[in-house]
Structures are given as C-alpha cells and as structure tokens.
Amino acid sequence: MKLYVLENGKLVGPKINSIADADPAEIQTAPIWSVLIEHSGGYLLLDAGCHTDADRQHPMIYRDFSMAPEDHILRRIEALGVAPEEVGTIVLSHLHSDHSGYIELFPNAAVYVHADELRQRLGEYERGEAAVGVRDMAYWLEHDIKWEPIAADEPEREIFPRITILNFGAGHSHGMLGLLVDLPGAGKILCAGDAVYNRENVGPPIRLAGNMVSADGFVMTIERISALADKLGAQLWYGHDEEQFSSLIKSTEGYYS
C-alpha cells in the first residue's frame, strides 16, 4: 500500500475563516490537497481538488483560489502513472468546492459522501439557494456520479483492509467524513479534512472556526478525533494547516507506505 499526498493549489484569505477569534485583518494561506492511495483493492482518492470554473465556483472560493498547471488533480495522478479511469473509489470529506471539484473526471469511481451532506446540497439546489456547492450540484446532476452515501447513524465503514471511513457528522459542514489509513511502515494516519482546519483549532482550548454549521458538532468532533488519534497513536492530518502541509512528503518527492 502506498499513500501519495497531492498538492492541488491554495486558498489565500482571512484567517477568521478557520479561527473565529483571529484578528480580522490577518491573512492565511490554506493549502488545497488530496490523497491517492494505491491498494490491492484498487486506487482510492480522498477529496478531488478545487476546480477553476467561474460559472460553477462559489465567488468567495474562486476569488481566493490559485493553482499552478501541475497542481491539477489529473496532472498529479498522471505524473504517478495513473489514469482517471483506474480510480475506483473516491471519499469526499464534504461537498465544498475546494474538496469535491473534479469528481466528474473519474468516470468509474464510486463516490462516498455523508448522506446528510448530499441531502443538504440537493435541497439547496432544488430551492435555488446560492450556497457553497450548489453550482457544482447542478453540474453533477448532468453526469453519472455514482454516489455512495454514508448514513448518519453509521459511525465508520472499512472499505478496504486497513482503510476505514470515519463519520464525523455535522460541524464545519452538514456531514463530514474522515479517513483512517493503517500503513505497514508509516503507521496510522487520520485524515480529518475540514472537521479540523488546523492545529490551532485543537488547542487546548478548542478554538471554533469562523465557517461552521454547528458549533457544538465542531467541538464534539475535535474532541472525538483528538481522543481517537491519541488512542491509536495515529498521525492527525488537518484540512488546511500550512505549516503541517509543508512538512508532508508530496507526491513529487515520494510516498508513505
């Protein structure tokens, strides 16, 4: 088993998006990234980058996002000798555009998503709301996305040996998923996505994000993730932590195994 960290661009914007009590004038750089896992069961992708289609993109994300040509998720996997048709599984931490941008480029992939997250986005689309992800939903409905919802009452699901989807529930968004990978050499890695934006959210004390749908859910999820990482001795990878991301081995340098 090999785990590749794919660099997919960056968002530059107010730090209060991730830390609600930060100085409103402070600016942060939030890396956009995904993970490709090579497993005997097939290729698995965790999150799918951020697209640059202005007609689909939420204005806030489109304004603050930048991506070098080589950061495009197809360029990243092709550099590893992988074709998009070979990716059979995608796990989406949630349906914001900086995590789910290119799922339609993987025609053979089953796309795992939290059931409440999918239901919320479909409802927003049907009501004509201008929420994050609504424009993407209109586009996805034109494609044959093979959705695989994870029910709210399903705490976890092992989808391959040593790879488990974790159900975090509501917090940053309406339904958050994480991924626990148990590598023979590198050990356990818990990818929290935006359930934990960065190290500062963990504290102590826990610091709320500025972009949430449930403050209680956000706090409970951080407590659960922190306790689980401690219990398992797992590395905890945050969703948009610039300092941590700079320390990770990128796909251009190697992989975790």
**Digitized pLDDT (tens) for each residue of the chain, 257 residues in all:** 999 999 999 999 999 989 999 999 999 999 999 999 999 999 999 999 998 887 776 666 667 889 999 999 999 999 999 999 999 999 999 998 899 999 999 999 999 999 999 999 999 889 988 766 677 888 898 888 999 999 999 999 999 999 999 999 999 999 999 999 999 999 999 999 999 999 999 999 999 999 899 999 999 999 999 999 999 999 999 999 999 999 999 999 999 99
pTM of the model: 0.96
- For the chain, what is the HEC assignment? CEEEEEEEEEEEEEHHHCCCCCCCCCEEEEEEEEEEEEECCEEEEECCCCCCCCCCCCHHHHHHEECCHHHCHHHHHHCCCCCHHHEEEEECCCCCHHHHCCHHHCCCCEEEEEHHHHHHHHHHHHHCCCCCCHHHHHHHCCCCCEEEEECCCCCEEEEECCEEEEEEECCCCCCEEEEEEEECCCEEEEEEECCCCCHHHHCCCCCCCCCCCCHHHHHHHHHHHHHHHHHHCCEEEECCCHHHHHHCCECCCCCEC
Q: Identify the structural domains of the chain with CATH numbers, from first to last.
A: 2-247 (3.60.15.10)
